[in-house]
Amino acid sequence: MTETLESPSATIISRLEVPELDELPAELRQQIAALERQLGYIPNWVRAISVGGAHTARFNTYLLALLDPNSGLLPYADREILATVSSAENGCSYCRLNHAGSLGEALGDHRLGTRIAIDYREVRELSSRHRILAGFAAKLSVRPGDVDDADIAELRELGLSDEEIFEAVHVISSFAAANRFTIFLQVRPDDQFFN
């Protein structure tokens, strides 16, 4: 049982087959190479979803821009809160472990990143802004029809413009998609999450 954790072959990181890197479209190979440069290793999620070929490359283009620390309308920490809470509410183990780390870095507090990835509701230290964003992510992820005019008004009271509000909607909705990929494929968490 535990041996497989030490030397995983490509096939056990996913419920579907995992194509070799050199079978992939050029755009997808470049995205993977960029992630490897950034992280120092190739995360399992991008290997696993590469079975989607050109569709996956187009999705990555969409997603990676939303999570770029150096662009975007909303502060990076806001977008990481939205990504992390969406992943928790959608029930994606891989993404919770992954974003516990990246949110921890964005907040400069790894304990907080981990606790929010478990359940933001029990984190009394959460700032009011982050609590509102987290609640919005939870509602739009799980009960989108319940988002009402008052929820939008609350976001505007935080100072968000309509463009920023819709960027938040994009982050949450991109994780509605990405979490379904990772849950469906049962992607094995990266060894690097546990260091």
User: What phi and psi values does residue 182 have, to the nearest 5 degrees?
Assistant: -75, -40
For residue 45, state whether it binds a copy of itself (rule: CB under 8 A).
Answer: no
Measure Cα distances from 76 to 67, 82, 110, 142 in Å: 7, 10, 16, 23
CA distance 84 to 112: 12
Note whether 77 binds a copy of itself by CB under 8 A: no
Q: Residues 13 to 42: which contact a copy of itself by CB under 8 A?
A: 15-17
Site string for a copy of itself, 113-142 (x = CB under 8 A): -xx--xx-xxxxxxx------------x--
Q: Which residue has the tokens 């194509």?
A: 19
Q: How far is the CB of 53 from a copy of itself (least distance, A)?
A: 7
User: Which residues, 140 to 159, sit near a copy of itself by CB under 8 A?
Assistant: 140, 144-145, 147, 149, 152
Contact 98, 45 (CB under 8 A): yes
Q: Taking a C-beta distance cutoff of 8 angstroms, is the pair 110, 101 a contact?
A: yes
Compute how many residues bind a copy of itself; rule: CB under 8 A.
73
Is the CB of 35 or the CB of 79 nearer to a copy of itself?
A: 79
Of the residues 56, 76, 132, 134, which one makes contact with a copy of itself according to CB under 8 A: 56
